Amino acid sequence: MGLKLNIATLLVLLIFTTSAANAQPTVFNVVKKYGGKVNEDITLPLTNAWKDACATQGGSKVVVPAGTYRLGPVQLNGPCKSPIELKVRGTLQAPGDLSFFKWGSWVSFLRVDQLTLSGNGTFDGQGKSVWGKYGGALPINIRFDFITNSIIRGITSLDSKQFHLHVFACKNVTLLHLNIRAPGDSPNTDGIHMGRSTRIRIIDSKIGTGDDCISLGDGNQDILIQKVTCGPGHGISIGSLGRYENEEPVVGVKVLDCKLRNTMNGVRIKTWPASLSGIASDMHFENIYMKNVSNPIIIDQVYCPWNQCKAQIPSKIKISKVSFKNIRGTSQTKEAVKLLCSKAIPCENVEISDIDLAYQGSDGPATSQCTNVNPTILGRQNPPACTLK
C-alpha cells in the first residue's frame, strides 16, 4: 500500500513537473504588440518589450519576427522575475554612424539568469562602415556580462565593428550552433572573447573573422570548446596573459574535435614578456584538424606585437599541465610546432602526442622548436618533436 502510494505520488509529481516545463511563456511580440515595423527602427519597441517581459512571472519570450529592422544600441538588463527568451527571427542592423553609440557595445545583456537567445536571426554590425577609418575601441556586437545558467543558440553575428561576442563574468552558459562571419582582413573582430567566466561551453559553431576565432583572457575556468570550425581568422587562443595587474588564473580549458582552415595560427597560448605573475594550467587540445594553418601548435611566451614591451625580460606566467594530442593536417609554415616558454619560469608537464602536420614548401619538411620546456613525447611525431636550435 505504501509502495503504491509512493509510486502514485511520484507520478503526480512527474506530471506536474512535465506540465510546468511545458508551460507556455508569455509572448511579447515587438511587431504585433509594440508597434515595430519592418525596415524601420525598433529600438524603443524592443526595449519596452524586454522591460515588460523581464517583469513577468512564469516565463516570457520576446519575439522579433522575420524581416529586416534597424536597431540602435540597447541594454537588456536583469535581473528578471523568471526565465526569459529573446527570439530573433529577422535581421537586426546596427547604426553605421558611431555617434549613436554612448557605450562600448551594440546589444548588451547584463545580470540575467536563465536567458535564452535564439531564433536563427542575424545581428548585422555594419562593420564595413568603420573598419580602418577610426582609431580606438569600436562597439562590440553582442555583450554578455554576469549572465548565468543560460543558452545562446542558433544566431548569426555578421560584420561586427569590433568583437562579435564578448562574455564576461558569466557562469554556466552554453553557446551552440552559432554562425559568426566577417572578412579575414576585418580588424580586431574576435569571434568570441571570454574573460573571468566559469563553465562556458562553445559547441558546434562556425567562426570566420579577422582576428581570433575564440580568445580567452584571464580568469576563465572550466571552458569547453568542441566541434568549432574556424577560418579565416587567427585561430583559437588562450591569452594574451600577463599584461595587466590583478589578472586571475586560467585553469581548465579543453579544445576538442575542432577544424581550422587557412588561419594565421592554430591552437595557441600566448603571454607577454616582462609580465606580471600569473598562472595558466590544465589546458588540453585534442583531435584537431588543420588545413593550411600557419603556426599550427604554439606556446608563445615572448608575445610582443608591434614592440609594445621589453621582449628581453622573460614572462612570469607559469604554464603547466598542457597537452596537444592527435593534431593533424597541413601547415603553411615550416616550423609547425613551436613551444617557446619562459626562461624565468619554464613550462611544466607538457605532452605532445600523435602529431602529423605536413609542410609542402620547397625548403624542406616541417620542423619543430622547443625552448625552456621538456615535453613528454608520445606516438607519431611529424615533424620530429622539439628540434633544438
Q: Which residues pair with 376 in a beta bridge?
A: 351
State the Cα–Cα distance between residues 63 and 163, nearest whole angstrom: 25
Q: Is 211 a catalytic residue?
A: yes
Query: Residue 77: how many CB atoms within 10 A of its CB?
Result: 16
The residue annotated as part of the active site, out of 164, 166, 234, 282, is: 234
Which among 245, 241, 285, 243 is positioned nearest to 265, based on CA atoms? 285
Name the catalytic one among 124, 159, 211, 218.
211
Order across the sheet with 192-195: list the strands.
74-77, 105-110, 140-145, 165-168, 192-195, 214-216, 236-241, 267-271, 297-300, 335-340, 367-371
Q: How far is CA 285 from the centre of its chain?
A: 16
Measured CA to CA, the distance from residue 328 to residue 330 in angstroms comes to 7
- Give Rg (Cα) of the chain: 23
Residue 333 sits at the vertex; the CA angle it makes with 329 and 335, to the nearest 5 degrees, is: 95
Catalytic residue list: 211, 234
